[in-house]
């Protein structure tokens, strides 16, 4: 694909200066530019002819055609509209105008214009695609039946297969065409794109190479190569592939420029998302989804939900993302409705024949059972894919929770401690689950230290309640008493006093049985304090008497 004008005019000028009598023979012809796909050069020639008075309706139509091929659909549309306002013009222009409307996303206008055009193969193909856009299955099948076994119709059919996520069917059509037309190298790009969608990134790269060897400056092919590198390696590798593409993006090829800007944001982990993605939401389909992902990463659940709530999911990625947003909103607001919607979306993807054995499909089933609190089933799915996410903090966070909820606190503690993300480590869910794991693994001091690192808040109060009760259940009475003591000072609830009293007596019993160090008896007596209560007086008197008899210094 040539995006800049070829320069035969320079050579022609030199020859004409030497051989004036051959001047007219060396002038470039429109057919020469079109043959080389130099549409910028073709427009220059056509504009020159028009300014020289050599103009007719064909000149306007050729300019519109060249603008269309350069991706300037708006410019093409404006010319076609002017032509249709004339008294006489070819009826086929309505179909050309409809094509421009279609690529501008003006589908109702495209439909109306195409209906005014003659019944041709082009009109049928256009209405075929419009039926898909309108989700009109009956019309889609009608226009499908009108397709013939010719190149243009078969390419149109393959495109619809691709748009309906039937990637293998699209590959079959493209391969069949390629078998009869070995020189149609661009079909390799379409096949590579299908393999990319099927997550066969290495196969996609191999097929794509056949085209890039012939056309190393192809914008679409280089972009796909960058996307494959992003999936196979990382964002940095993908960025490097896009550098050459950035240099060649021309002002007239706006789609290419927008695509580069969009993908750069993705490759760079969301940098510049708010500047780049919002204007592209209705231009590039993935822009909306990536903007939703950006909002999720920023914990802006409300904005993410506002952006995706009206989207009718069609692809597994859209179902998954809508499920994630609903799950996040349901957990944030405590609404069962959103959690139920999320669970249904996850189940739909994870249970589908095409996704059930994929990694995202198994993640979806794990998420579904997580929301249903069926943690044994969660582990069944997460265990099958854990080797792919060994150092993934988000995966390990959910995996550890499932392990702990299923009673496997030893493994859960190890997985929690593998997490490096400071954001997750400051999350109360992480802190509370890790504290419970420490207590269940007989490390109450570690749990207490987690509390000491927290600032005074509602979350620290909740953690105290967890430590006090879990330590009591596990017979770790010293740290239970300390937690109940702080709780009682913050909230003079009789239950906290009763918990502290029981824990203090428990510590005393363990000291007597040599299961706790004797030095802690003094701290226990201090925690009981000088409360004017017969029970307290009796307990402290008994403790002091034993200490005296056992020669324990208080």
**Spatial CA neighbour of 95 closest among 85, 84, 87:** 84
DSSP character at residue 27: S
- Confidence band (pLDDT; 50, 70, 90) for 88? confident
Q: What is the pLDDT of residue 51?
A: 83
Do 478 and 537 fall within a single domain? yes
Answering whether pTM is above 0.75, one says no
Q: Which domain holds residue 327?
A: 272-388
Helix (H, G, I), strand (E, B) or coil at 91: coil
Q: What is the pLDDT of residue 145?
A: 95
Helix (H, G, I), strand (E, B) or coil at 334: coil
Q: Does residue 22 lie within any of the structural domains?
A: no
Stretch among 50-64, 147-161, 230-244, 290-304 having the lowest mean pLDDT: 50-64
Question: Is the model's pLDDT at 499 over the cut of 80?
Answer: yes
Q: What percent of the chain has pLDDT over 70?
A: 92
pLDDT digits (tens, 9 = 90+) for 342-364: 999 999 999 998 888 889 999 99
Q: What is the pLDDT of residue 282?
A: 80
Q: What is the pLDDT of residue 9?
A: 37
For the chain, the 3-state helix, strand and coil shares in percent, each to the nearest 5, are 75, 0, 25
Q: What is the pLDDT of residue 260?
A: 85
Question: Is the model's pLDDT at 255 over the cut of 80?
Answer: no
- Domain finish residue from 388, 408, 426: 388
Long-range contacts of 157-166 (CB under 8 A, 24+ apart): 158/190, 159/129, 160/128, 160/129, 160/132, 162/190, 162/193, 162/194, 162/197, 163/132, 164/132, 165/197, 165/314, 165/315, 165/316
Do 164 and 209 fall within a single domain? yes
H/E run at residue 165 = none
Give the mean model confidence (pLDDT) for residues 33-50: 88
Q: Does residue 276 lie within any of the structural domains?
A: yes
103-137 burial string, b = 16+ CB within 10 Å, else e? beebeebbbebbeebeeeebbbbbbbbbbbeeeee
- Confidence band (pLDDT; 50, 70, 90) for 249? low
Q: What is the pLDDT of residue 26?
A: 61
Q: How far is CA 322 from CA 5, 280, 305, 338, 434, in A?
A: 45, 19, 8, 10, 30
Q: What is the CATH number of the domain that holds 159?
A: 1.25.40.10
Do 374 and 288 fall within a single domain? yes
Alpha helices in 8-136 (DSSP H): 8-18, 23-26, 30-35, 39-51, 57-69, 73-84, 93-103, 107-116, 121-133
**Spatial CA neighbour of 95 closest among 138, 134, 61:** 61
> Across 148-265, where does the E strand assignment appear?
none
**Spatial CA neighbour of 219 closest among 178, 263, 267, 154:** 263
Q: How far is CA 159 from CA 30, 194, 463, in A?
A: 31, 10, 56
Do 186 and 293 fall within a single domain? no
- Confidence band (pLDDT; 50, 70, 90) for 199? confident
Q: Does residue 343 lie within any of the structural domains?
A: yes
Cα–Cα distance, 211 to 184 (Å, whole number): 10
Cα–Cα distance, 295 to 274 (Å, whole number): 9
Q: Does residue 140 lie within any of the structural domains?
A: no
Determine whether 544 is exposed, middle or buried from the number of CB atoms within 10 Å of its CB (0-12, 13-18, 19+).
middle
Do 314 and 264 fall within a single domain? no
- Domain finish residue from 250, 269, 288: 269
Answer for the pair 435, 450: CB distance below 8 angstroms, yes or no: yes
Do 167 and 205 fall within a single domain? yes
377-398 burial string, b = 16+ CB within 10 Å, else e? bbbebbeebeeebeeeeebbbb
Cα–Cα distance, 281 to 46 (Å, whole number): 35
Do 260 and 281 fall within a single domain? no
Q: What is the pLDDT of residue 464?
A: 96
Give the mean model confidence (pLDDT) for residues 202-227: 92
| Mean pLDDT taken over the chain | 89
Do 382 and 291 fall within a single domain? yes
The residue count for the chain: 554
Q: Does residue 186 lie within any of the structural domains?
A: yes
Do 241 and 337 fall within a single domain? no
Question: Is the model's pLDDT at 244 over the cut of 80?
Answer: no
pLDDT digits (tens, 9 = 90+) for 441-464: 999 999 999 999 999 899 999 999
Q: Does residue 335 lie within any of the structural domains?
A: yes
Question: Is the model's pLDDT at 435 over the cut of 90?
Answer: yes
pLDDT digits (tens, 9 = 90+) for 311-331: 989 889 999 999 999 999 999
Cα–Cα distance, 511 to 372 (Å, whole number): 44
Lookup: tokens for 512: 């007597």
Stretch among 16-20, 62-66, 223-227, 339-343 having the lowest mean pLDDT: 16-20
- Confidence band (pLDDT; 50, 70, 90) for 12? very low
Q: Which sign, positive or negative, has the C-alpha torsion 385, 358, 203, 395?
A: negative
Do 234 and 324 fall within a single domain? no
73-86 burial string, b = 16+ CB within 10 Å, else e? bebbbebbeebeee
Cα–Cα distance, 68 to 253 (Å, whole number): 10
Domain count, the chain: 3
Do 307 and 253 fall within a single domain? no
Q: Does residue 209 lie within any of the structural domains?
A: yes
Q: What is the pLDDT of residue 336?
A: 94
Q: Does residue 448 lie within any of the structural domains?
A: no
pLDDT digits (tens, 9 = 90+) for 506-535: 999 999 999 999 989 999 998 887 666 778
Answer for the pair 159, 171: CB distance below 8 angstroms, yes or no: no
Answer for the pair 204, 224: CB distance below 8 angstroms, yes or no: yes
| 182 contacts: CB under 8 Å, gap ≥ 6 | none
Determine whether 373 is exposed, middle or buried from the number of CB atoms within 10 Å of its CB (0-12, 13-18, 19+).
exposed
**Spatial CA neighbour of 83 closest among 93, 69, 72, 96:** 93
Cα–Cα distance, 483 to 504 (Å, whole number): 11
Do 257 and 316 fall within a single domain? no
- Domain finish residue from 228, 246, 269: 269
Cα–Cα distance, 469 to 432 (Å, whole number): 13
pLDDT digits (tens, 9 = 90+) for 93-147: 999 999 999 999 899 999 999 999 999 999 999 999 999 999 899 999 999 999 9
Lookup: tokens for 45: 């020639």
Q: How far is CA 129 from CA 38, 157, 201, 456, 466, in A?
A: 28, 9, 28, 60, 59
- Confidence band (pLDDT; 50, 70, 90) for 308? very high
């Amino acid at each position: 694909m040539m995006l800049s004008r070829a320069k035969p005019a320079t050579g022609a000028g030199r020859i004409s200066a030497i051989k004036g009598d051959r001047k007219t023979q060396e002038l470039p012809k429109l057919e020469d530019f079109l043959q080389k796909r130099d549409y910028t050069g073709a427009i220059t020639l056509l504009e020159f002819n028009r300014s020289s008075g050599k103009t007719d309706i064909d000149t306007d139509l050729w300019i519109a055609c060249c603008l269309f091929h350069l991706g300037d659909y708006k410019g093409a549309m404006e010319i076609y509209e002017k032509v249709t306002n004339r008294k006489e013009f070819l009826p086929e222009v309505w179909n050309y105008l409809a094509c421009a409307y279609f690529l501008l996303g003006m589908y109702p206008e495209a439909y109306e214009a195409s209906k005014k055009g003659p019944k041709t193969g082009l009109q049928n193909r256009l209405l075929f695609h419009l039926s898909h856009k309108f989700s009109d299955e009956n019309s889609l099948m009608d226009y499908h039946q009108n397709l013939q076994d010719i190149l243009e119709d078969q390419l149109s059919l393959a495109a619809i297969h691709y748009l309906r996520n039937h990637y293998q069917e699209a590959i079959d059509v493209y391969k069949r065409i390629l078998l009869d037309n070995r020189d149609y190298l661009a079909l390799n790009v379409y096949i590579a794109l299908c393999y990319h969608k099927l997550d066969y990134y290495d196969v996609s790269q191999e097929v794509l190479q056949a085209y890039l060897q012939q056309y190393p400056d192809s914008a679409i092919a280089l972009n796909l190569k960058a996307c494959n590198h992003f999936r196979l390696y990382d964002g940095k590798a993908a960025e490097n592939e896009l550098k050459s593409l950035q240099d060649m993006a021309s002002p007239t090829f706006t789609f290419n420029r927008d695509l580069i800007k969009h993908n750069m944001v993705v490759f760079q982990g969301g940098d510049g998302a708010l500047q780049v993605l919002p204007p592209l939401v209705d231009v590039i389909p993935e822009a909306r989804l990536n903007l939703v992902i950006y909002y999720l990463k920023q914990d802006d659940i409300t904005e993410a939900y506002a952006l995706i709530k009206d989207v009718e999911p069609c692809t597994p990625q859209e179902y998954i993302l809508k499920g994630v947003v609903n799950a996040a909103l349901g957990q944030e607001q405590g609404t069962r409705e959103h959690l139920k919607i999320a669970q249904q979306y996850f189940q739909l993807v994870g249970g589908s024949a095409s996704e059930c054995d994929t990694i995202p499909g198994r993640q979806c089933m794990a998420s579904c059972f997580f929301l249903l609190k069926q943690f044994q089933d969660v582990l069944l799915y997460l265990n099958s894919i854990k080797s792919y996410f060994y150092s993934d903090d988000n995966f390990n966070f959910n995996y550890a929770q499932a392990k702990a909820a299923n009673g496997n606190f030893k493994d859960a503690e190890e997985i929690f401690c593998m997490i490096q993300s400071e954001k997750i480590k400051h999350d109360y869910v992480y802190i509370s689950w890790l504290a419970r794991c420490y207590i269940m693994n007989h490390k109450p001091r570690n749990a207490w230290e987690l509390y000491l690192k927290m600032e005074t808040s509602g979350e620290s109060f909740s953690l105290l309640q967890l430590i006090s009760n879990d330590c009591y259940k596990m017979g770790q009475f010293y740290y239970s008493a300390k937690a109940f003591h702080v709780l009682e000072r913050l909230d003079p609830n009789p239950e906290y006093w009763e918990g502290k009293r029981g824990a203090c007596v428990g510590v005393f019993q363990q000291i007597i049985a040599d299961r706790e160090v004797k030095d802690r008896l003094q701290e226990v007596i201090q925690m009981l304090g000088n409360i004017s209560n017969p029970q307290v007086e009796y307990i402290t008197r008994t403790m002091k008497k034993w200490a005296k008899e056992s020669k324990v210094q208080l």
